[in-house]
C-alpha cells in the first residue's frame, strides 16, 4: 500500500467527523444528539467517495446534517479533511459497507438519501451489488422517514434504466427524472454540484442521468 494511503488511514482514525465500522454502531439512533448535537434533519450520501455532495450540501444547508458513507477510507479522508479545514461541522463520514446500513441507523432516522455515481456493476452476476437492487431499496425504505426522497445521479445509462425499471415494478412515486441532466430544466444549485467522478465523465461529454423517487 502507498505511503499516502497509509498516512490517510492513520489520520482518519484521529478525525472527530469520521466513524469506522464497529465504532459507528454506537451512533445508531443517536446521530443527531450524540454527533451533531441538534435535532436537524439528516441526509445520507451513499457511495460518497471524496464526499463532494456531502460537503457542498452541508455548506448550502447549514440547517441540515449530512453523512457521507463509503468503505474506502482514503477517499473519505478527502471530504472529512476539507470539512475540518473549512470548519463545516454539519457533515460527518461513516466508513462501512452500505449492505450493513441497518446496523448504523434506526428506522426513520434519515430524511433523504443521495446515491452519487455508484459502481454500475453491469454483469448480471453482480446485480445484487447494485445500490438500487431491491434488497438495498428495502433497507433505504426502513431508514428513511415516511415520504423521504432517494436521489440517484449516475453517468451509467444501464444503471439508470435498471433503477427506473425497479422503481416502476415497485410502483414507487417518481418526483423527477432525466437522462440528460444538464440539458434539462431540472438543474439548480444542488444538482449542479459535481463529484470527482462526475467531472471526469463530463470531460468526455457523457450525459448525466438523475432520478428522484420515494417509497410513498
Ligand X SMILES: C[S@@+](CC[C@H](N)C(=O)[O-])C[C@H]1O[C@@H](n2cnc3c(N)ncnc32)[C@H](O)[C@@H]1O
Which amino acids are annotated catalytic? 119
Distance CA 61, CA 202 (A): 26
Identify the residue among 23, 33, 97, 158 touching ligand X (CB under 6 A).
97
Place of cell 445520507: 44
Q: Residues annotated in the binding site for S-adenosyl-L-methionine, as ranges?
A: 45, 70, 119
Among the listed residues 24, 49, 79, 148, the single contact to ligand X using CB under 6 A: 49
CA 31/CA 137 separation, integer angstroms: 22
Of 92, 101, 109, the closest CA to residue 55 belongs to 92
CA 87 to chain CA mean position, Å:
21
- Residue 68 as a binder of ligand X (CB under 6 A): the answer is no
Contact between 98 and ligand X by CB under 6 A: the answer reads yes
Is residue 175 within 8 Å of 186, Cβ to Cβ? no
- 67 lines the binding site for ligand X (CB under 6 A): no
How many CB atoms lie under 10 A from the CB of residue 201?
A: 17
The one among 61, 71, 133, 149 contacting ligand X by CB under 6 A: 71
What are φ and ψ of residue 174, in 5° steps? -105, 130
Give binding residues for substrate as ranges.
Answer: 155, 195-198
Q: Is 20 exposed, middle or buried (0-12, 13-18, 19+ CB in 10 A)?
A: middle
Number of residues that bind ligand X (CB under 6 A): 19
Q: Which of residues 153-212 bind ligand X (CB under 6 A)?
A: 195-198
C-beta closer to ligand X: residue 37 or 128: 128
Helices (H), 148-188: 157-169
Min CB(31)–ligand X separation in Å: 18
Instruction: Answer positive or negative: Cα dihedral of 140, 142, 147, 148.
Output: negative
Build a one-symbol-per-residue string for 105-144: x at contacts with ligand X by CB under 6 A, - elsewhere.
Answer: -----------xxxx-------------------------
Nearest residue (CB) to ligand X, 36 versus 53:
53
Least CB distance to ligand X at residue 194 (A): 9
Q: Which residue is nearest to ligand X (CB)?
A: 49
Residues in touch with ligand X (CB under 6 A): 47-50, 70-72, 75, 97-99, 116-119, 195-198
Amino acid at each position: 500500500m502507498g505511503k499516502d494511503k497509509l498516512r490517510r488511514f492513520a489520520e482518519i482514525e484521529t478525525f472527530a467527523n469520521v466513524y469506522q465500522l464497529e465504532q459507528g454502531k454506537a451512533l445508531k439512533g443517536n446521530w443527531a444528539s450524540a454527533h451533531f448535537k441538534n435535532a436537524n434533519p439528516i441526509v445520507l450520501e451513499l457511495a460518497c467517495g471524496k464526499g463532494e455532495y456531502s460537503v457542498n450540501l452541508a455548506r448550502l444547508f447549514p440547517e441540515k446534517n449530512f453523512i457521507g458513507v463509503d468503505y474506502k477510507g482514503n477517499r473519505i479522508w478527502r471530504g472529512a479533511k476539507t470539512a475540518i479545514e473549512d470548519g463545516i461541522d454539519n457533515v460527518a463520514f461513516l466508513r462501512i459497507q452500505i449492505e450493513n446500513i441497518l446496523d448504523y441507523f434506526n428506522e426513520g432516522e434519515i430524511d433523504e438519501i443521495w446515491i452519487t455515481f455508484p459502481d454500475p456493476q453491469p454483469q448480471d452476476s453482480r446485480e445484487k451489488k447494485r445500490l438500487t437492487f431491491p434488497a438495498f431499496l428495502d433497507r433505504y425504505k426502513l431508514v428513511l422517514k415516511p415520504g423521504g426522497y432517494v436521489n440517484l445521479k449516475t453517468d451509467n445509462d444501464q444503471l439508470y434504466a435498471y433503477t427506473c425499471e425497479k422503481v416502476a415494478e415497485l410502483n414507487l412515486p417518481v418526483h423527477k427524472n432525466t437522462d440528460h441532466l444538464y440539458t434539462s430544466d431540472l438543474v439548480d444549485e444542488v444538482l449542479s454540484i459535481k463529484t470527482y467522478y462526475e467531472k471526469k465523465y463530463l470531460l468526455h461529454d457523457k450525459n448525466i442521468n438523475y432520478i428522484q423517487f420515494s417509497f410513498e
